[in-house]
Amino acid sequence: MKLFSSLYGRAMQWARHPRAPWFLGGLSFAESSFFPIPPDVMLAPMALARPERAMGYALLTTLTSVAGGILGYLLGVFFFELIEPLLHDAGYWGKFEQARHWFDEYGFWAILIAGFSPVPYKVFTVAAGAMAMMFFPFVAASVLGRGLRFFLVAGLMKWGGEPMEKRLHTYIDYLGWLTVIAGVVGYLVLK
């Protein structure tokens, strides 16, 4: 079944859209403070579709993500009592508690690692504000962590370029179904 190849084709078409950078910036901003979908899902196809703009897309993603992180930080500082029930309802409370523990242990490094890794960065931005982490180290760690991540993603897509895009298009259905199977197996094993 060719489900993933049609989705891939559509994603590449959207990645070339003239307003795609605006959507990427909005997604990056939102993900850092409240939205669940990471900007990598948009950055990677955009960098692959237009390799000559990959580093610009990475910079845009980094800056708007850090701006969204600052919003998350401010939400943690000024509105944590309102956000706490949402963290419980959305299933992020355990991750928030883990973030608090990491702040106690590692401070600056916790934000840097959260910015680079696939852990929910938004939880760390709110936790940093709620725990009154110093603002400038928070911003510096966010810029470093997010920048490293997004420039790595864009750089890999730029490096792969058109040959990678063609290869992905050829094998995307196999990769898609393998990912689905791995997700189901992983879920069953963890359950």
pLDDT tens for 81-121 read 888 888 788 887 887 888 788 877 887 888 888 888 777 78
Q: Residues 56-85: what's their mean pLDDT?
A: 92
Query: Where does the pLDDT of residue 56 fall: very low under 50, low under 70, confident under 90, or very high at 90 and above?
Result: very high
Q: Taking the alpha carbons of 107, 111, 113, 117 in that order, is the dihedral positive or negative?
A: positive
What per-residue confidence (pLDDT) applies to 140? Answer: 94
What per-residue confidence (pLDDT) applies to 188? Answer: 78
In this model, does residue 1 exceed pLDDT 60?
Answer: no
| DSSP track, 123-189 | HHHHHHHHTT--HHHHHHHHHHHHHHHHHHHHHHHHHHHHHHHHHHHHHHHHHHHHHHHHHHHHHHH
Q: Residues 56-78: what's their mean pLDDT?
A: 94
pLDDT tens for 124-179 read 888 889 888 899 999 999 999 999 999 998 998 888 777 776 776 666 666 667 77
In this model, does residue 187 exceed pLDDT 80?
Answer: no
Question: 160-166: which pairs have CB atoms within 8 A and are 24 or more residues apart?
Answer: 160/48, 161/48, 161/51, 162/51, 164/48, 165/12, 165/48, 165/49
- In eight-state DSSP terms, residue 92 is -
What per-residue confidence (pLDDT) applies to 45? Answer: 84
Higher pLDDT, 156 or 37: 156
Q: CA-CA distance, 185 to 170, in Å (whole number)?
A: 25
Q: What is the pTM of this model?
A: 0.76
Higher pLDDT, 46 or 5: 46
Q: CA-CA distance, 122 to 96, in Å (whole number)?
A: 10
Q: Residues 59-86: what's their mean pLDDT?
A: 92
Which residues have CB under 8 Å from 69's CB, separation 6+? 32, 33, 115, 121, 122, 125, 138, 139, 142, 146
Higher pLDDT, 28 or 177: 28
What per-residue confidence (pLDDT) applies to 62? Answer: 96
Query: Where does the pLDDT of residue 58 fall: very low under 50, low under 70, confident under 90, or very high at 90 and above?
Result: very high
In this model, does residue 19 exceed pLDDT 90?
Answer: no
Query: Residue 159 class from Cβ within 10 Å (0-12 exposed, 13-18 middle, 19+ buried)?
Result: exposed
